[in-house]
A = this chain, B = another copy of it.
Amino acid sequence: MPEHIVTSFDIDLKELSRRVVEMGGQAERLVADSVEALVKRDSELAQKVIVLDGPVDLLQREIEEKAILTIARRQPLAGDLREIVAAMRIANDLERIGDLAKNTAKRVLALTGEFHPQKLVRGVEHMSSLVQEQLKEVLDAYAGRDDARALDVWRRDGQVDVLYTSLFRELLTYMMEDPRNISLCTHLLFCAKNIERIGDHATNVAETVHYLATGQQLADERPKQDTSSLTSVPFPA
């Protein structure tokens, strides 16, 4: 924390940070609920996720507005300015995480009544548990301004990508084996992609926490290992 007398400015900064943490908790809940709705085929829970994404969007706008007003009113210097910019950036990522969870929830509604073998859903669930852990870790890193913990999340981004690429291949194979799986697998592909992107946003947050703690931007190159967009599964001859 920067050294200055406790003022209404400190209160502004704390309030901003408090709202980001609150928003983080809401985003985590949406991700967990959307995947639970998918696994349990729970339309009611899916509907709840769709509705509860609204307040997350609203919170993002509030954080952005408060951040900008604080910059304009207080003319903060380096460390304080970083606090405010970090709050805006993280709120932006959390808002997108909420959108992605909402998209998964919508797909749960599409799949009501579909042929729905549990083994196809398991891969998505497994990938999601990894991403949820990353998200939790990075939000804790933000709350504690813990650079080491943020870097740890950042380094693990590749793990999710590897899982996603393997799941992508697997789902394509299922489609080829039995065309009755196509509709389900297509939606699962998009759900898996949503979760992979949630992981990307968690990695963005890790970069922001690093910037907040050190004033440095991480190098551009992430340890990315998602090659699914380069993956093609040939139809067996």
Taking Cβ atoms with an 8 Å cutoff, the residues of A that contact B are: 54, 57, 61, 64, 68, 71-73, 75-76, 81, 85, 92, 103, 106-107, 109-111, 114, 172, 175-176, 179-180, 182-183, 186-187, 189-190, 193, 217, 220, 229-235
Contact A235 B176 (CB under 8 A): no
Given contacts A110-B230, A183-B232, 17 further A-B contacts (CB under 8 A): A54-B220, A71-B71, A72-B72, A72-B76, A72-B81, A73-B75, A106-B230, A109-B230, A172-B182, A175-B179, A176-B182, A180-B235, A182-B182, A182-B233, A182-B235, A190-B193, A190-B229
Contact of A72 among B75, B172, B234 (CB under 8 A): B75
How far in angstroms is the closest Cβ of chain B from A212? 14
Question: What are 12 pairs between A and B in contact, CB < 8 Å?
Answer: A57-B220, A61-B217, A64-B85, A72-B81, A106-B230, A109-B230, A110-B231, A172-B182, A175-B175, A175-B179, A182-B233, A186-B189
Number of copies: 2
Residues of B within 8 A of A235 (CB): 179-180, 182-183
Query: How far is B222's CA from A57's CA once the two chains are assembled, in angstroms?
Result: 14
| CB-CB nearest in chain B for A229 | B106
Determine which of B64, B110, B179, B189 lies in contact with A176 in the assembled complex, contact meaning CB atoms within 8 Å.
B179
Q: In chain B, what residue has the closest Cβ to A89?
A: B64
Most chain B CB atoms below 10 A, which of A103, A107, A180, A235: A235
Report the bound CA distance from A109 to B180 in whole Å: 28
